[in-house]
Amino acid sequence: MFIYAGQQLRQLRERLGLTLRDVEAASSEIAARHQNQEYFIPFSRLSEIEAKGTLPSIYRIYSLAAIYRCDHRTIFGWYEVHFDTIADDNNVTQIPNTHRFASVPHLDTLQVPVAIDPGFDVRRTMNLARMIQKWGIVPLQFMPGFQRGPHTYAFVGTEDFTMYPLLMPGSFLQVDESKTEIVNEGWRSEYERPIYFIETRQEFICSWCNISDREQLVIQPHPLSPTTPRVFQYPHEAEVIGQVVGVAMRLNEWKPAGEHSIRKQPVQLN
d(CA 30, CA 23): 10
Cβ-defined contacts of 79-88 (< 8 Å, 24+): 79/2, 79/5, 79/55, 87/145, 87/147, 88/147
The one-digit pLDDT tens for each residue of the chain (270 residues) are: 689 999 999 999 999 999 999 999 999 999 999 999 999 999 999 999 999 999 999 999 999 999 999 989 899 999 999 887 877 777 777 767 645 555 555 555 545 454 556 666 767 777 766 655 544 444 443 334 444 457 888 888 888 999 999 998 888 888 999 999 999 889 999 999 999 999 998 889 999 999 987 789 999 999 999 999 999 999 899 999 999 998 888 776 656 545 544 444 444 444
Which amino acid makes up residue 11?
A: Q
Residues 170 and 234 in one domain: yes
Residue of 120, 119, 117, 124 whose CA lies nearest to 200: 124
Residue 92: partners with Cβ closer than 8 Å, 6 or more residues away: none
Residues 244 and 124 in one domain: yes
In a domain, 95, yes or no: no
Residues 74 and 124 in one domain: no
Q: How far from 82 is each of 69, 74, 87, 137, 147, CA to CA, in Å? A: 19, 9, 11, 21, 16
Predicted pLDDT at 213: 79
Q: How far from 223 is each of 155, 158, 252, 262, CA to CA, in Å? A: 21, 19, 22, 16
Helix (H, G, I), strand (E, B) or coil at 129: helix
Number of residues that make up the chain:
270
Residues 44 and 157 in one domain: no
Q: How far from 173 is each of 116, 118, 126, 200, 245, CA to CA, in Å? A: 18, 21, 10, 18, 8
- Helices 43-51 and 3-15: crossing angle in degrees, nearest 10, is 120
Residue of 118, 166, 112, 115 whose CA lies nearest to 136: 112
Predicted pLDDT at 57: 96
Residues 44 and 168 in one domain: no
Evaluate whether 53 touches 3 at the Cβ level (below 8 Å). yes
In a domain, 211, yes or no: yes
Residue of 103, 76, 79 whose CA lies nearest to 89: 103
For the chain, strand residue ranges (E) read: 109-116, 126-127, 132-139, 151-155, 172-176, 196-200, 204-211, 216-220, 230-233, 238-248
pTM higher than 0.85: no
Q: What is the CATH number of the domain that holds 47?
A: 1.10.260.40
> Residue 160 is inside which H or E element, if any?
none
Residues 251 and 154 in one domain: yes
Backbone Cα Rg of the chain: 27
Q: What is the CATH number of the domain that holds 230?
A: 2.10.109.10
Residue of 53, 52, 2, 49 whose CA lies nearest to 24: 49
Predicted pLDDT at 139: 43
* Residue ranges making up the domain that contains 21: 3-81
